[in-house]
Amino acid sequence: MKVFWRFLLRRNLTEHWLEGVNYAVFGLGDSGYQKYNFVAKKLDKRLSVLGATAIVERGLGDDQHPSGYEGALDPWLSSLWNMLNQLNPKFFPEGPDFVVPDIKLVDQPKVRITYHDVDKVHSHFSTVSELKCIEMQIERALSMSPGRFYHDKNRPDCLLRMIKNHPLTRADCGKDVRHFEFEALSSAIDYEVGDVLEVLPSQSPAAVDAFIQRCNLNPESFITVHPREMENNLLDTHINASKFPMKLKTFVELTMDVASASPRRYFFEVMSFFATAQHEKERLQYFVSPEGRDDLYQYNQKERRTVLEVLEDFPSVQMPFKWLVQLVPPLKTRAFSISSSHSAHPNQVHLTVNVVSWTTPFKRKRMGLCSMWLAGLDPQQRVIIPVWFHKGSLPPPPPSLPLILIGPGTGCAPFRGFVEERAIQSRSGSTAPVLFFFGCRNEENDFLYRDFWLSHSQNGGVLSEEKGGGFYVAFSRDQPQKVYVQHKMREHSQRIWTLLSEGAAIYVAGSSTKMPADVLSTFEEIISKETGVPRESAVRWLTALEKAGKYHVEAWS
């Protein structure tokens, strides 16, 4: 896609270059983020500028929609087929809505599975250490997972063990936020403040066993999984790990999310072809029809039905394992902002994690797979945790750069690392001021890292007012009227503008719902008020700040 996009941006392409070409664009996005469907919008505009003709108006899929992106995809596809039929009726001789209920329509699965004779399978790990064996096994499993056939980085960067599991919130306050500390078991830890840690969680052994039993699989069989040959013969050249067989049960444990993620609609469509009970087949066919989409949402997404629960609800369905490998949602790594400084903790990495749990409309108790697993770990026991380090969207600031940090709730996580790092830098030289705005519900219940922030805001610390900085907290529920970080920002608007006029960078982290947009709006208001310029000028000023690499947002849903 990057190569294609660079090609489309060439300056020698004229506005008539794509004349006579018809196109249609459907984008996948999440309206919780500021740059919602940015790629689809840019692509649609560029194709149009080059003279191509849109067959239908671009479609924008939204993961915030009750039915996910399919809420917009269904009507968009319907209009696309109708328009294509008008352009050339021979494509749809029986009309664009004609459906052939045939398994051939779903093509072949994109994977092929080879079963190996157990007696002929020899261990390739007999001469390596336990940790190296685990790393290689994870790499082998992930490289055989359909979503990662051509992935560059399947082997974990590091294997960790937990050394601290500390609650940050008061018990029974309705929230459970934990501080976790890990140390390296394998290769050395290396990261910068603002980086992100991806964790591969472990699944419940009972759930994995129940899935294997429900699907009539042999957990002890040895398999290899390969992509079905592609037309361009670009078979994977760097997944040598997939040439070595591994136990089916291990493959399921490491790659297939059987008891946490909900399946997509296509899963139900393929299930309908393998249902032998007529009432189950009809129910599944209804679910995947446009008329049944809302009922599927009520049954599946709203209840967060898992693959295992869905399969148990339709006992006549026996799907071949190759289809399950393709359609069961992949076991994904979970990304967390690192909340420590490598300089302060050379062989450690810290995380601040909200332990997710909720109740569905039908009173099913649901829990976040990774956060609940981490919360249940005992630091006294040696549980091995595979992780990958990545650059986040918060670049590490130089000591001379003034900072304005906004991090309500667990959004404070990366800024704990920022403050630790700047505190170390201040010991050997002068550092620029840091303003930090934090928010939580109650001072007594969920004031995360209270002692840490207060210690750095006193006695000449990096958050102290005497050093030009400041630490301000909004407790939203401790008084009749709600108080958020935006209110505290307005109270200190002059301090904010002083730092901005001195070249400060803005860092925002936390929930992606309303907070980033509200904070941006508050900055616009402050700049307009403190400088006396119109709001539109303040908007342009902040846009320029972002283009200069001084307005950073890391938001998560």
Residue 286 is encoded by which pair of tokens?
A: 């209804």
The predicted model scores a pTM of: 0.87
- The band of 243, judged by pLDDT with boundaries at 50, 70 and 90, is low
Mean pLDDT, the chain, as a whole number? 91
Q: Is 50 exceeded by the pLDDT of residue 236?
A: no
Taking only the tens place, the pLDDT of each residue in 202-211 is: 999 999 999 9
Q: For the chain, what percent of residues have pLDDT higher than 70?
A: 93
Q: What is the pLDDT of residue 99?
A: 57
What is the average per-residue pLDDT within 535-550?
96
pLDDT tens-place string over residues 273-298: 999 999 999 999 999 987 898 899 89
401: left (phi over 0), alpha (psi -120 to 50) or beta: beta
- Give whole-number Cα distances, 39 to 26, 33, 151, 487, 554, in Å: 10, 13, 22, 34, 19
Q: Give residue 101's pLDDT.
A: 54
Regarding the domain delimited by 103-128+202-332, which CATH topology (the fold level of the hierarchy) does it fall under?
A: NADPH-cytochrome p450 Reductase; Chain A, domain 3 (1.20.990)
Q: How far out from the chain centre does Cα 371 lie?
A: 14
- The token pair at 81 is 């087929």
- At 385-403, the pLDDT tens digits run 999 999 999 999 999 999 9
Helix (H, G, I), strand (E, B) or coil at 373: helix
Q: Give the residue extent of every domain in the chain.
A: 2-91, 103-128+202-332, 152-200+334-392, 403-556
Residue 412 has a CB neighbour count (10 Å cut-off) of: 28
Q: pLDDT band at 127, cuts 50/70/90?
A: low
pLDDT at position 469, please?
Answer: 95
**Closest among 325, 388, 328, 392 to 154, alpha carbons compared:** 388
DSSP sequence for 104-125: GGG---SEEEEEE-GGG---S-
The mean per-residue pLDDT over the stretch 461-488 comes to 95
Give CATH for domain 403-556. Answer: 3.40.50.80
The pLDDT tens digits for 68-114 are 888 898 889 889 988 988 888 887 776 666 655 555 556 688 899 99
Q: Tell me which of 67 and 46 has the higher pLDDT.
A: 46
Question: Distance between CA atoms of 58 and 196, rounded to whole angstroms?
Answer: 33
- Can 2-91 and 403-556 be said to share one CATH topology? yes
- Over 80: is that where the pLDDT of 515 sits? yes
CB 373 within 8 A of CB 201: yes
DSSP string covering 277-306, please? SHHHHHHHHHHTSGGGHHHHIIIIITTT--
> Which secondary structure element, helix H or strand E, spans residue 211, and what is its range?
helix 205-214
Over residues 55-59, the mean pLDDT reads: 95
First-to-last C-alpha distance (Å) of the chain = 26
Locate the DSSP E strands across 176-292.
177-184, 196-199, 222-227, 246-247
CATH number of 2-91: 3.40.50.360
> How far out from the chain centre does Cα 379 lie?
26
Q: How confident is the model at residue 232 (pLDDT cuts 50, 70, 90)?
A: very low
Q: Which of 155, 152, 157 is nearest to 236 (CA)?
A: 152
Residue owning tokens 């849903």 = 557
Residue 557 has a pLDDT of 75
Per residue in 310-347, pLDDT (tens digit) is: 999 999 999 999 999 999 999 999 999 999 999 999 99
Span 242-269, average pLDDT? 91
152-200+334-392, CATH topology level? Elongation Factor Tu (Ef-tu); domain 3 (2.40.30)
Average pLDDT over residues 241-247: 74
- Summarize the confidence of residues 449-476 as an average pLDDT: 96
Please tell me the predicted confidence (pLDDT) of residue 239: 45
What local confidence, expressed as pLDDT, does residue 150 receive? 65
* Phi, psi torsion values for 394, nearest 5 degrees: -120, 95
The amino acid that residue 291 corresponds to is E
pLDDT of residue 64: 83
